[in-house]
Amino acid sequence: MSGEPLLVVAPTPGSGELGEGLARELGVEPVYGEFKEFPDGEEYVRVRVDSGGGPAVVVATMSRPQSRSLLVAMLTVDALREQGMNEVYLVAPYLAYARQDRVFLPGEPVSVRVALQALASTGVRGLLVVELHRADSLSWFPGDGVNVRPLPFILRRSGFKCRRGETVIVSPDLGGRQRAELVARRLGCEWGYLVKKRDRVTGEVRIEAADVDVEGMDVIIVDDIVSTGGTLALAASQLLERGARRVYAVAAHYLGLPGVDGKLRRAGLSGLAAGNTLPWNPQAGFLERVDLSPLMAEALKGLLRG
């Protein structure tokens, strides 16, 4: 890496906080992109920079509407390359379309592949994401890719304690068992997983079995994202029925959709901690928002060093 990185904050919701946090950790001043919408609904982006010898880093989390956020990130990258910045990196803590990482029903696309290849087409040299739904999805990005795993960090910064012999880390589904094992090994706790079945047509979720004994234990559910809260609410209620003393949850991403916190409270969840990869409002005593800037900054330094 030659010179200090130029940090550019893309005009997508939630990117300002993340950009400021990263700039603070890196000791640089952020540059903010401008955005407006044309009368026909198309997006307009402008970024004015003084080209230097160092790399440019675009911070663009892809909050709702995701399609707009993805396009704005691409336009921001292209605006920098038009001004001679040929070494452009993208920090996309929440990567849009990452959950459709395979064909579940005939006729579907692999959406994360489309998103990653589109970003690569703009000339992005390196990409940093947070808790990708499936880490191996980054293989579709031809440049350098880093997937930051924030759940142990969030747990340490939250008010939830992982005590050996008293706490069990649980994945709400079979697919997340490696995530639960990673967190448990980092923190020295037991772990297990639930078996979740989802109807791919109706979206209905049910839990059929569990590979974990939670009788009399505190349980911390770990997941990559909380969207509607349906899976998390079902898992919490099932664990409490199986004798868990208390159930908490830790997630990398929280969409903050209306009514989700109420659903989780009614299911018996005692609290939820999540990263600040998306804009949402914490609630005292239940929702806890953890700043991931220090963790992302360290990972970004490694990416820039190559």
For the annotated catalytic residues, the residue numbers are: 196
**CA pair distance 201, 81, nearest whole angstrom:** 42
Residue 52, Cβ density class (10 Å: 0-12 exposed, 13-18 middle, ≥19 buried): middle
Q: Residue 302's CB: how many other CB atoms inside 10 A?
A: 11
What single string gives the DSSP state of each residue in 71-132? HHHHHHHHHHHHTT---EEEEESS-TT-S--S-SSTT---HHHHHHHHHHHTTEEEEEEES-
**CA pair distance 273, 89, nearest whole angstrom:** 29
CA distances for 258 relative to 41, 123, 229, angstroms: 26, 37, 10
What single string gives the DSSP state of each residue in 4-16? PPEEEE-SSTTHH
Helix (H, G, I), strand (E, B) or coil at 248: strand
Helix (H, G, I), strand (E, B) or coil at 169: strand
Question: 3-state DSSP helix/strand/coil percent for the chain, to nearest 5?
Answer: 30, 25, 40
Residues 6+ apart with CB under 8 A from 162: 155, 169, 184, 187, 188, 189, 220
**Cα 92 versus chain centre, distance:** 9
Q: Residue 36's CB: how many other CB atoms inside 10 A?
A: 10
**CA pair distance 22, 32, nearest whole angstrom:** 13
Q: Tokens 């440049």 — which residue?
A: 143
**CA pair distance 35, 78, nearest whole angstrom:** 14
